[in-house]
Structure 1
């Protein structure tokens, strides 16, 4: 019996001073949302992953432009102690890549993305075709809250489309077609009269941001602030449908994807002495493109992934760095921004 007891209760290796103690937020101290978010790192499970992600993004934000001030100095000393090294601000300036899938622009995360680009807090954006068109469509008509369990055939009979628990009337896409086709006509005429005969997708996106001229649009802000937006899958989704329809009424518009892959990879390769950071919401094309571009410089210095994908199928969507958060990005990303980027504007 003594042998069994000693086997079950094998003497423990001490973790004191080696690992962080698990402890949640004490609401007896009142409701302080900033402190609540800071406490995530010691709560455990996905809360701790979110806490780790907040720390990593705060380091990106601090080094983004060599920031100064009380908040940044506290973070700087934290970084020095944590890393056990002192680095010059110039050698650690960080270029931030933001990637997201289209569904997040369909949802209210669009407003969080718009906030980031409005205040020039990221330098490179990568998304899908839906991430472009949904932003523009929302400037023309509203998206509404529905339910995940609504019957598809019934919705179809009503001229309604379901995106998760969102509802988008068919009329929204008709308005999008009426708005964008004349712009494609203008682009085609410009191609015929100018020396350069092709358009890069990123230049098309910038043009759309200019034409929409709506401050609720993140594309408007990327155009106004000169932030690059790449969309390698531009022909997917409604945007591809519009290009398809346009080709029948006015053939000849040429969009050159090769120039954009050169520019996209160049944003990472030519970061020179700067570090790079990746914040990627969801998986698929945006995640792969950003990771692949940073692979050209032997990897990014910081990475935070927020998604619900799994690793078991070998897809890039589920591949994880240490700072991954398994959580719905509509929940995690606004909280992360509140405790990182938004602190810069307070």
Structure 2
């Protein structure tokens, strides 16, 4: 049955939720999907029976989303975080007094000579990483003194790092304080992983990646429902979905991606494809939004928080 498309209106002094409502009434194209995602996120956060799994891929901390993620943890609006090692690295960079910068131009050879690394139009300074290297080595040593050569899961390793962070805005510190587990299956593929490898040239701090699966599967089975919020794709997206496979898949999921499906890539795969693998349940509520996470997720989240406040 066909339905009339409602033409959207933008008024003065609109709240975010009022704008999302206009998107919802339109119900078409990207606006409609964004509204569905915002409304679904509100349901996930509000439903006490739903554990919310947040996955982060791409340079979201360097891209300005650190406080958004930190607040979700502090307010216990997510139950766990699955992320790339890079986002953890950049959280620590800021915790140790470093920053991320803008407006330095795209002459990469000149940037290299000046000790500047570029992530799109975000920049880091090698001097900040030098501080990071010194401070993280001190923390590694403290953890090593505590656990010795006994294997430690990546989740517990990150929990321990968080206990030594002083920055009150740190994702790792807030996760430690609020007992929100962080999983990072690709941790070694980051500057944090490189520093751990260098530390282990003279030590034996062993990470047990399979140990994380025990903890993650326990969380899956302990909760009535799981809702996944997938910001970007890659390993964090797959780890989030695959962790729910033994229980038949997630009950609901939102993904924001700019990748395409035609190549068969996981990052661009429509969420419906996950049903064929039992990574999303048949009948699950799934919404995919195409676009830049740093634009879309703050809008989706603001609308969801307006709705449940």
Task: Select between 277-286 and 259-268 the one with higher mean Cα deviation.
Answer: 259-268
Using structure 1 for the length normalisation, give the TM-score. Answer: 0.81
Q: 1:239 aligns with which of 187, 192, 210?
A: 192
Using structure 2 for the length normalisation, give the TM-score. Answer: 0.90
Distance 2:75 2:4 in 1: 35
Residue 101 of structure 2 contacts residue 124 of structure 2 at CA under 8 Å; is this kept in 1? yes
Residue 60 (str. 1) matches residue 44 (str. 2): yes
**Size of the alignment, in residue pairs?**
293
SS of equivalent to 1:167: strand
Distance 2:206 2:249 in 1: 33
Residue 214 (structure 2) aligns with? 262
Residue 170 (str. 1) matches residue 126 (str. 2): yes
Q: 2:157 aligns with which of 190, 204, 208?
A: 204
Judged with a 3 Å threshold, the aligned counterparts in structure 2 of structure 1 residues 292 and 205 are, in CA distance, closer, same or farther, namely same
Per-residue Cα deviation, 1:238-261 (whole angstroms, up to 9, x for no partner): 01110121122x221111111112
Judged with a 3 Å threshold, the aligned counterparts in structure 2 of structure 1 residues 101 and 153 are, in CA distance, closer, same or farther, namely same
Task: Select between 253-262 and 29-38 the one with higher mean Cα deviation.
Answer: 29-38
Judged with a 3 Å threshold, the aligned counterparts in structure 2 of structure 1 residues 125 and 342 are, in CA distance, closer, same or farther, namely farther
Judged with a 3 Å threshold, the aligned counterparts in structure 2 of structure 1 residues 233 and 342 are, in CA distance, closer, same or farther, namely farther
Residue 42 (structure 1) aligns with? 25
SS of equivalent to 1:173: helix
Structure 2: segments with no counterpart, 5+ residues: 272-285
Residue 263 (structure 2) aligns with? 313
1:9-20 superposed matches below 5 A: 15=2, 19=3
RMSD: 1.7
Judged with a 3 Å threshold, the aligned counterparts in structure 2 of structure 1 residues 102 and 203 are, in CA distance, closer, same or farther, namely farther
Per-residue Cα deviation, 1:267-314 (whole angstroms, up to 9, x for no partner): 21332xx11100010000110000001122101111000111110111
SS of equivalent to 1:126: strand
Per-residue Cα deviation, 1:128-171 (whole angstroms, up to 9, x for no partner): 11121111101221111136x60211100000000111110011
Shift of 1:343: 5.0
Q: 1:146 aligns with which of 103, 106, 112?
A: 103
Residue 302 (structure 2) aligns with? 338
Structure 1: segments with no counterpart, 5+ residues: 1-13, 66-92
Shift of 1:33: 3.0
